[in-house]
Amino acid sequence: MSKVWLVTGASRGLGLQITRAALDAGETVVATARSTDTLRDAFGGEHDRLHALELDITDAEAANAVAAEIIERFGAIDVLINNAGYAELGFFETFTDEAVRCQFEVNVFGTMNVARAVAPHMRERRAGLIVTISSVSGLVSNGGGAVYSASKFAVEGWMEGFAQELAPFGVRSLLVEPGMLRTDFMDGKSARFGSIDIPDYAEAIAQYRAFVDGANGNQPNDPKLLAARIVVLASQDDVPSRFIFGDDARQWAGAKVDQLRHDIARSTDRG
C-alpha cells in the first residue's frame, strides 16, 4: 500500500532525488519548496502521486497549514523528509550576526517547525518515520564550516533527544549524515559566504574558496544512490538511528570517534 511522504526542499538537490526515488517506489509524495514554480520546473507538473505545495519552513504557521492540508487530503503523513536547508560557508568572523542567525533560522528552527507540525499526527496514529537530513558536518567541524556545522550539530542534538521522546509512541527517526554530494549545495543557489573582510584570514579564505570552487560539481557521492538507500530504509521496520553515507563521511566520522576516545582516555580525575 502506498505511503504518503512529505519532502521539504524538494525542488533540487537531494530533496529532488528523494522525491523521485519515492515516486519510483510507488509512494505518494507531497513535495514542498518556497515556490511551486520551481517544483513544476523540476518535475514537469503533477501526476496522480506527486503533489506540489509551497512552504517556507521558517514560517511555523505555514508548516502547520501544510501538515493539516496533507492529512485532510490523504488521511496521513507516513514519512517526513526534513531536508530543506542551506550552508553558510566561510570563516566565522567574516559572518555578520544576521547571517549566523539566518543559518539557524532555516537549518534548525525551520526544521523544528516542520517536525513540530507533523509529530502530533504521528503520535496520535502511533506510527510514522521522521527522516532528518543532517550532514557529516553535524558530527565533525572544520575551519570554514564552523557556522554551518554549528547548525547541524544543533539539529543532531535536538533530534537525538526528540527521537527518544517519540519512540514510545511508535514514531521512528533516522538522522542521515552524508559526505559531499554531487548537488548544487556548494554553489550560489545554496551556499553563502561571509561578507566581512578580515586581512588576517585573507590567505586561508582564498585557499578555502578555491577548495569549494574546485569541489563544486565534483563531489564524490551520488545523491541518487543516497535517495534510493533512504527509500529502502524507510520501508524497514528496524530503522537505524543514524545513516552515515559516503566513504569520506565514514572516514571523517571514524576519525572523530578515535579523537573522542583519545580525549576520553586523557580526561581522568587523577592529576
| Known catalytic membership, residue 152 | yes
Mean pLDDT value across residues 143-163: 97
For residue 165, pLDDT over 90 is answered with yes
148 labelled catalytic: yes
Summarize pLDDT for 32-83 with one digit per residue, the tens.
999 999 998 888 866 789 999 999 999 999 999 999 999 999 999 999 999 9
**Among 87, 78, 106, 102, CA closest to 7:** 78
CATH superfamily of 4-266: NAD(P)-binding Rossmann-like Domain (3.40.50.720)
Confidence (pTM): 0.92
In sequence order, what are the residues at sequence separation of 6 or more whose Cβ sits closer than 8 angstroms to the Cβ of residue 51? 28, 29, 30, 31, 73
- Given a cut of 90, whether residue 183 has pLDDT beyond it is no
Please give the angle made by the CA atoms of 58, 171 and 83, to the nearest 5 degrees: 35
- Which one is catalytic: 11, 135, 152, 173? 152
Q: Please report the pLDDT score of residue 220 as a whole number.
A: 52
> At residue 127, what are phi and psi to the nearest 5 degrees?
-165, 155
Per annotation, catalytic residue among 148, 149, 151, 208: 148
Place of cell 576519525: 255
Quote the CA–CA distance of 8 and 22 in Å, as a whole number.
Answer: 13
The answer, yes or no, to whether residue 211 has pLDDT greater than 80, is no
Please compute the mean of the pLDDT values over residues 143-159 and round it to a whole number.
96
Task: Give me the residue spans of the domains in the chain.
Answer: 4-266
> Please, which pLDDT band fits residue 180 given cuts at 50, 70 and 90?
confident
Residues 94-103, mean pLDDT to the nearest whole number = 97
Choice among 38-52, 121-135, 155-169, 252-266 with the minimum mean pLDDT: 38-52
Task: Find the catalytic residue in 3, 11, 86, 134.
Answer: 134
